């Protein structure tokens, strides 16, 4: 007696290439570690500072990759005007959501807002000090007033960043549970089910060599920029 023939796997399309996914998950892990190293790290916050520098490297990499990466990673591929975002929301409210292989018009701007807030949090950290034992990499070259202002903003931006991260996570979970697009699975596997999408399908991946070049350039920009400005790039 033979068993029933196995059904072929459902066809899938490439949605996000490997460098894009690694950047996203690395940034998510580093932001979580920034919280842990701030409250449970060493007294001088050395690991917290290294954590912030790593975040800046990933953010700069993502900016470069947004220019030369895969089709769904490029800003030109998913950043659309306010009308497109409003049209997307209107279709969503009417129960006829548009489906995108990459970021939808609203989600694209949320991604940019997250990158901006994370970058601002990390940049202000470069100039932060507690005037006792914690001195950010750029504190030797700026005034006391700049240090005080940066320290205030480093604390002030934190709840807004947490709120936006929470909204982003909740939205992705909702889409994955109740929508057609399982965004969490797609960002892990890099693929989505083959279907009709509003943007170009399948995605065109970015080359690994190009990604490595962007990563090296990001390291040079962050650490070299601090050194050229007269700061201490190595906490």
Backbone angles phi, psi at 10, to 5 degrees: -65, 135
Spell out the per-residue pLDDT of the chain, length 235, in tens. 455 555 566 688 888 999 999 999 999 999 999 999 988 888 889 999 999 999 999 999 999 999 999 999 999 988 988 898 899 888 888 878 788 888 888 889 999 999 999 999 999 999 999 888 889 999 999 999 999 999 999 999 999 999 999 988 888 888 777 766 778 888 899 888 888 888 876 789 999 999 999 999 999 999 999 999 999 999 8
Alpha helices in the chain (DSSP H): 18-40, 46-68, 75-78, 82-93, 105-126, 144-178, 183-189, 208-219, 225-228
- In the prediction, which pLDDT does 1 show? 45
- In the prediction, which pLDDT does 193 show? 85
Cα–Cα dist 143/125, whole Å: 15
Among residues 106, 105, 101, the alpha carbon closest in space to that of 193 is found at: 101
- In the prediction, which pLDDT does 173 show? 85
């Amino acid at each position: 007696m033979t068993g029933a023939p196995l059904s072929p796997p459902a066809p899938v399309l490439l949605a996000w290439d490997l460098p894009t996914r690694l950047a996203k998950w690395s940034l998510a892990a580093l932001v979580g570690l920034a919280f842990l190293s701030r409250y449970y790290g060493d007294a001088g916050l050395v690991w917290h500072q290294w954590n912030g520098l790593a975040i800046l490297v990933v953010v700069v990499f993502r900016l470069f990759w947004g220019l030369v990466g895969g089709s769904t990673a490029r800003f030109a591929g998913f950043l659309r005007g306010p009308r497109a975002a409003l049209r997307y929301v209107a279709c969503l409210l009417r129960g006829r959501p548009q489906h995108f292989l990459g970021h939808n018009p609203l989600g694209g701007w949320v991604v940019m807002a997250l990158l901006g807030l994370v970058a601002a949090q990390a940049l202000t950290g470069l100039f932060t000090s507690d005037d006792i034992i914690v001195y950010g990499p750029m504190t030797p070259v700026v005034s006391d007033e700049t240090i005080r202002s940066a320290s205030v903003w480093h604390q002030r931006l934190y709840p807004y960043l947490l709120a936006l991260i929470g909204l982003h996570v909740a939205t992705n979970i909702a889409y994955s549970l109740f929508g057609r697009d399982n965004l969490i699975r797609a960002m892990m596997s890099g693929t989505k089910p083959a279907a009709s999408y509003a943007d170009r399908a399948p995605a065109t991946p970015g080359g690994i060599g190009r990604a490595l070049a962007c990563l090296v350039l990001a390291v040079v920009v962050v650490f070299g920029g601090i050194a050229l400005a007269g700061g201490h790039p190595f906490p």
